[in-house]
Amino acid sequence: MTFSRSLLVAALTALGLGAHAQEGPVLLLGQTADLSGPQAAPVKETVAAARAYFDKVNAQGGVNGRKIVLETMDDGFDPKRSVENAKKLIDEKHVLALFLFRGTANAEAMMPLILEKKTPMFAGVGSSMKMHEPMNRYLFNLRAPVQIEVSSIVTQLASQGITDVAVVYTDDGFGKDAFDGAKKTFEKFKITPRAVAVIPRGQAEVDAAVDQIAKAAPSATLGFCIPKICASIVKKLRAKGSLTQFFSLSNTSSGAYVTELGEFARGIVVTQVMPYPFDARDQIGREYQTFAKEAGITESYASMEGYLSARIMTEALKRMGKNPSREGLVTAFESLKLNLGGFQVGYSPQSRTGSEFVDLTMISKNGRFIR
| Cis ω before 134 (30° cut-off from 0) | yes
Positions of CATH 3.40.50.2300 in the chain = 5-143+282-356, 146-272
The number of beta carbons lying within 10 Å of the beta carbon of residue 256 is 22
Question: Quick check: pTM over 0.75?
Answer: yes
Please tell me the chain's helix, strand, coil percentages from 3-state DSSP, rounded to the nearest 5: 45, 20, 35
CATH of 5-143+282-356, one of 3.90.1150.10, 1.20.1250.20, 2.40.50.100, 3.40.50.2300: 3.40.50.2300
Element housing 203 (H / E): none
CA distance 156 to 245: 13
Per-residue pLDDT, 9: 38
Q: Are 330 and 137 in contact (CB under 8 A)?
A: yes
Please say whether the structural domain 146-272 has been given the CATH code 3.40.50.2300. Answer: yes
| Mean pLDDT (10-residue bins), the chain, 371 residues | 38 38 80 94 94 98 97 97 98 98 93 98 92 97 97 98 97 95 98 97 92 98 95 98 98 90 97 95 95 96 96 98 96 97 96 97 96 92
Q: Are 352 and 139 in contact (CB under 8 A)?
A: yes
Residue partners of 12: CB distance under 8 A and separation at least 6: 18, 19
